[in-house]
Structure 1
Amino acid sequence: MEGVSGDGVAASLPLAKWRSDFSRAFRYYLDRSTPHSVGRWMGTLGVAAIYVLRVYFIQGFYIISYGLGIYVLNLLIGFLSPKVDPELEVMDGASLPTKGSDEFRPFIRRLPEFKFWYSITKAFCVAFVMTFFSVFDVPVFWPILLCYWIVLFVLTMKRQILHMIKYRYVPLNIGKQRYTGKKSSASSSSPKD
Structure 2
Amino acid sequence: MEDISLEDAKSHPFFQQIQKLNVTYQRFLDQSTPHVKYRWSGFAVLFLTFFTRIVTAQGWYIICYGLGIYLLNLFLAFLQPKFDPSIEQELQDDSIEAGEMTQEFKPFIRRLSEFKFWYRATVATSLSLFLSLFTITDVPVFWPILLMYFIILFSLTMRRQIQHMIKYKYLPFDIGKKKYGYK
TM-score > 0.5, shorter chain as reference: yes
The question of 1:37 aligning with 2:53 is answered: no
SS of 1:140's partner is coil
CA-to-partner distance for each residue in 1:53-72, whole Å, 9 max, x for gaps?
A: 11111110000000000000
- The reply on whether 1:170 has 2:167 as its aligned counterpart is no
TM-score of the aligned structures, taking structure 1 as reference length: 0.79
C-alpha distance in 2 between matches for 1:20 and 1:169: 43
Structure 2: unaligned runs, 5 residues or longer: 93-101
Following TM superposition, by how much is the alpha carbon of 1:103 offset from its aligned partner in structure 2, in angstroms? 4.4
Matched, 1:129 2:130: yes
Residue 86 of structure 1 and its aligned partner are, at CA, apart by 1.8
Aligned to 2:69: 70
Match of 1:191 in 2: none
SS at match of 1:143: helix
> Following TM superposition, by how much is the alpha carbon of 1:14 offset from its aligned partner in structure 2, in angstroms?
2.5
Alignment RMSD (CA, Å): 2.4
Q: Establish whether residue 106 from structure 1 lines up as the match of residue 107 from structure 2.
A: yes
2-structure distance, mates of 1:13, 1:56: 46
Whose helix fraction is larger, Structure 1's or Structure 2's? 2
Aligned to 2:85: 86
When residues 53 and 141 of structure 1 are mapped into structure 2, their CA distance, relative to the original with a 3 A threshold, is same
Aligned partner letter, 1:73: L
How far residue 141 of structure 1 moved from its aligned partner, in angstroms, is 0.5
Show the counterpart of 1:184. Answer: none
Give the number of equivalent residue pairs: 168
Alpha-carbon distance change, 176 to 16 in structure 1, aligned in 2, over 3 angstroms:
farther
Q: Which residue of 2 aligns with 1:161?
A: 162
Deviation at 1:91, TM superposition (A): 6.5
- Which entry has the higher C-alpha Rg, 1 or 2? 1
Measure, in 2, the Cα distance between the counterparts of 1:57 and 1:107.
42
Distance in structure 2 (CA, Å) of the matches to 1:175 and 1:118: 26
- SS of 1:35 mapped into structure 2: coil
Percent of aligned positions that are identical: 50
Q: Which residue of 1 aligns with 2:119?
A: 118
Aligned equivalents of 1:17 and 1:175: distance in 2? Answer: 49
Q: CA deviation at 1:163?
A: 0.1
